[in-house]
Each structure stands twice: as C-alpha cells, then as structure tokens.
Amino acid sequence: MAIASPSAPSFSASSFCSTRTDSLPTGFTRFPSIAPPHAQRNRPHHHQHRRPGLALSARLNSSTPSGAGGSVSPNNGGDLQYELFYGFSPQRGRRGSPVFVTLPVDAVGPAGQVRRAKAMAQSFRALAAAGVEGVVMEVWWGLVERDRPRVYNWQGYLEIIALARRWGLKVRAVMAFHQCGTGPGDPHWIPLPLWVLEEIDKDPDLAFSDRFGRQNLEYISLGCDILPVLCGRSPIQAYTDFMRNFRDAFRPFFGAIITGIQVGMGPAGELRYPSCPSHKLTWAWRSRELGEFQCYDKYMLASLNACAREIGMREWGDGGPIGTGNLMHDPEHTDFFRSDKGSWKTPYGEFFLEWYSGMLLQHGERICRVAETIFRGTEVNTSAKVAGIHWHYGTESHPSELTAGYYNTSTRDGYLPIVRMFARYGFTLCCSCFEMKDSEEKQINSVSSPEGFLKQLLLAARVCDVPLEGENSTANLDDASFQQVVRMSKFDSDGLEKPSFSFNFVRMDKTMFEYQNWVRFTRFVRQMSNANIFRAKLSFGGDIQQFLTSRSDAKFGIAYAYC
C-alpha cells in the first residue's frame, strides 16, 4: 500500500549549519485506526515503562489485517489456530530485565519469504520455552522496497509476526535503512534498494566518500538528507514513507505483539558515519584502526564550505583535516590526533569536529522527529542505537570516535548531546559492548576500554532518564561473557526504583541451540529475568522444564536445521 510522499523541503546552504532549521516534513496522512481499543491511548512516556500483557483482541485472530495486503500466516490461517498460552503473563511476574534474541540476518529471503520456516518455528518454540521475552526482527529497506519506490512487500515479516504470536513472543522491529554484508558473494548480502543504487550510479556523491575518494554504500550520505535526490524524494522522506507504511500494515499488532521499533540511523543501524566499514569491526585488528572522516562527497563539502564561509574562514571549508595519518597509525604519531599539540585542540579542529558531529546530530534529530510523529499513540517503544567504538578510549583525542562522528574526548562528553536528543523524543538508547571486558581488550590494545565507554554512556542515560537496551558485540556463548552482561546491567540498574533495562542477544544461529550453549543461554535468561517462568503451564499439559528435558529436538534439532 503506497502512500503519497511529503512535499520536498526547500534547500539553502545555511540550513546545513544549524541543527534545528529544517522543518518537519508535511503531508502526513491520518488513517482510521484499526488497532485494538487499548492501542488508541497515547504511547506512555518512556519513564513509565508500561508493558502490555499478552491478551489479544479478536481482530488479531484474523489472518488478514486491514491494509496489510495479504495473509499473516505462512499457510493462510490454519496454523494460527494453535496457540501457546502461558499460565500467567511473564511481564507481570518479571522483576528483572527481559531478554530478546535477534533473528538471523537472512530470516527473510530476497523474494520476501521466510527462510527455513520449519527451523524458525522450532526456534521460536524453544525461545518461548526458555523464557525469552521476544525476538528482534530486522526489517530491511533493501528487501521490502526492493525494486520500485513506494512499492512495499511485507509478507515475510507478517509471517514472522504470526510465528511470534503463536508462541507468545514479543517482537522488536528494526527499521534497517542500511546495507548488510560486503557484496553479492556474501551469504548475508542485502544491498540498498535497487532503485536507490540506480540513483547512486547516476550521482555517485549520494554515497559517503573519504579523502582518497573511496565510496561507502552502506548508507546514503547524510549531506543530502533533505534534498530530493531519490526519484523526487529526499532520503528522510523515503525513510518516513517506509515507516508510515510499516505502521499501517502492522498496526493491529502494535502493543500486544510488536512492542518496540528501533529506527536505523546509519551503517549497521547505528547513528554514526561509516568511518570504518562495518564488516571490519569484527576483525581482530579492528581495535587499532583510526577510521577516516567521511566528508568528501559534494553534499557534505557544500555544507562544510557554507559553514566555514558563515564564520569568515573560507579556507576551512575545502575538506577534512590534514595530518590524520593512515588507518593503522599510532594516533600519537599523527599531527591531528596526538595528545601534545594535536590540531584537534586548535580553533580549526574544534570548528571541524563541531560541524562533523553536528551534522550527525542533525540527522538523528530529523529521524527522531518523524519517527516519534509516525508511531505516536501506537503503544510501541521507539529506540535508536549508538555504536560501541572503544578502541582509542584511553587516549586524549579518541580518534576512532571522532571519525565516526562522536565528538568525545578526554575533555568533552560527546554522548550526552545524543542521549539528550533521544530523551526529547522519548527514545530508548541501544548500545553494544555489554559482554566485553577491559582486561581482555587491553591485551590486544592497551588504550581500548569498552567498559569505560559503556559506563560513560550509561551515566548519560541515567542523567537524562533514558531507558536502555543492551547488546553484545559478538555472539559469545560462554559463561564469562554472560556474567559480564549481568554485571553491566546491574551497573545501569543499581539504585533505581524501577529499572528499565532490557537485553538483545545478537544473534540466533545454529550454535546457540547446541546442548552446552543452550544450557548456558537459558541459565543467563533466568538470571536476567529473575522470574519463575520455567514453571509456566502449556495448554497441552505439563510444564516447560519437563518439555525441555524430555524432547531432544528442543536441544539439538534446530541446530541441525540451521546447518
């Protein structure tokens, strides 16, 4: 169901120099509500932490939601008559932090179908039995609006919602406006929509570029956020139309099944520049890379030039800083990042970093504003993610954070402005690194500090009264990693009367369901939730613990299915 896009905002060079000059896109269309009665109420403010129960309205038992354009059931309704009911709502008895599990990247295939549907159903059954609160479902722009602008295919995601409903799981949906993978040979390759790539072919400056002219296609350059460069629409308008269409197609499930919307704001869904290609962040030597400033496409340069002229320093607007060294340089051996007389502390360095980080903050504000408007009154929690870039946290200049757009140094808090922005729009903050320890990372890089980074971010969230979603950076399934997550979650929650922390485990794969890994994972879920969910009764009799110990396929069958 396509929706007319908002009219294109006007453009002037000076609009790049302010974080609040762009107006909210016009043209929002109000639709008659098709949500259950309880969903008509306004979405609660984030610090109320209201969590709807499992009760579904009669409308949700229908296999065809109004306006969705198709069935929500993998087999057109028959299977949906079989439901898993708990003896009580897990949310009512929960005293700790709920755990969600992120689905495989390729949960939905290129044609819009659920991949490995039988294995997925088994997985959901096991997750429900383990007491997991729900799943995180990445909704890829490159799959849903793949071939033509404003033509959306939600079928595979509707089927995932049906599976979640059957097994009593909640869903957090991620609006994934970024590329996944390194190229067509990558098994997890999901590019931007094909029609967007055609526009980038016509105008390569729609992609980010570094000082060497290397392009990055993970995310559209935020320098053209409000310019009509995508078949007459701006990127912000394209994201807006996508989210609005998602809201209308999935509205019946908001509050009862879909409880959260994470809005992608950059590469890997994180509010940052692609200073380091996302796939490199999993490499062992990632902890030494400085990153590259992404300000050399014509749209970013136009903004920089306009801001430099505005303060009477035209020579500052020709490009990024010089003297930043190569990617693997020691920052102390560079002119820009070094602690002693580094040019990051000069008036020029401060100007550039204020502009560079300000552009990122402006981008986040635009998306927060439209997302808050779109999902207002739907009883879903909105969130956004900040990257966990910690490998130069122990230096004065924090170079890898600076190139990613976080103006965070030993003398300046670069995360507090971002968290304050999330607070203004009622967003939850999502961040990773919860399983990482300084003692281990410093063996690779002495100036790395994931715990230091994370504590700074958690303190900013507490100051601004912003709830938190934690994530792991790598899918470690050892007890030490799980215990570190528990420890850091307690750091966030200690002293709070009503803690508001939840955890997204990234991600579900075949190794997760191997016996020893599964035992460790379910023990972790119990520690986090701190509720007696393992004795919940099933409608077919017996309890979940008996089900787990008596059914070998719950432990091993899914792992084989994912091979």
The strand pairing partners of 431, in sequence order, are 386, 470
Hey, what are 352's tokens?
Answer: 């550039």
Q: How far apart are CA 458 and CA 491, in angstroms?
A: 8
Omega before 523 within 30 of 0, i.e. cis: no
The single-letter code of the amino acid at 279 is H
Q: Out of 145, 218, 396, 471, pick the active-site residue.
A: 471
Question: Which contiguous run of DSSP H or E holds residue 430?
Answer: strand 428-431
207 with 297: CB under 8 angstroms? yes
In order, the DSSP letters of 445-476 are: -TT--HHHHHHHHHHHHHHTT--EEEE-SS--
Q: Which residue has the tokens 């800083």?
A: 321
Altogether, the residues listed in the chain come to a count of 563
Q: How far apart are CA 217 and CA 178, in angstroms?
A: 8
Q: How far apart are CA 360 and CA 272, in angstroms?
A: 7
In angstroms and rounded to an integer, the radius of gyration of the C-alpha atoms of the chain is 23
331 with 325: CB under 8 angstroms? yes
Helices and strands (DSSP H and E) totals, the chain? 17, 10
Q: Indicate if 159 belongs to the active site.
A: no
Q: Indicate if 270 belongs to the active site.
A: yes
The CA-atom distances, in angstroms, between 372 and each of 46, 260, 365, 422, 524 are 12, 12, 10, 10, 33
Hey, what are 436's tokens?
Answer: 């990482």
Q: Out of 133, 218, 270, 379, pick the active-site residue.
A: 270
The CA-atom distances, in angstroms, between 300 and each of 205, 239, 488 are 9, 20, 38
Active site residues: 270, 471
